[in-house]
Amino acid sequence: MYGHKNVLLAGGAWFVLWSLINGFTKSFTAFVIARALSGIGGALIMPNVVALIAITCPPGKLRNISLGVFSASAPTGGYLGSLISGVFIEIHQWKWMFFGL
């Protein structure tokens, strides 16, 4: 209805906005609410990226590789994010994770 690209951009903006707000939270309740609202952005991004890959790449090897790399990015990001966040937690600067530093 709105187009894959427009929903992807809106979801990305929503995710960035609530991730930045999350970095400024002072209470645990506000932290949880901001994380939940940023998850809405992620929910808008994911299916539209898959649709854009399928529309952009013709059927065949390129599409299969593109979807495979996209599918592998979530577990890889989860693994690397856990390692990197452990460093921030060790130095007691966990809020910097939400500012992308």
Domain residue limits, the chain: 1-56, 58-95
Q: What is the DSSP letter of 59?
A: T
Predicted confidence (pLDDT) per residue in 30-62, tens digit = 989 999 999 999 899 988 999 999 999 899 999
Which pTM was predicted? 0.71
Structure tokens, 6 = 């427009």
Distance CA 22, CA 5 (A): 26
Torsion sign, CA atoms 36, 26, 81, 83? negative
Torsion sign, CA atoms 4, 34, 18, 92? negative
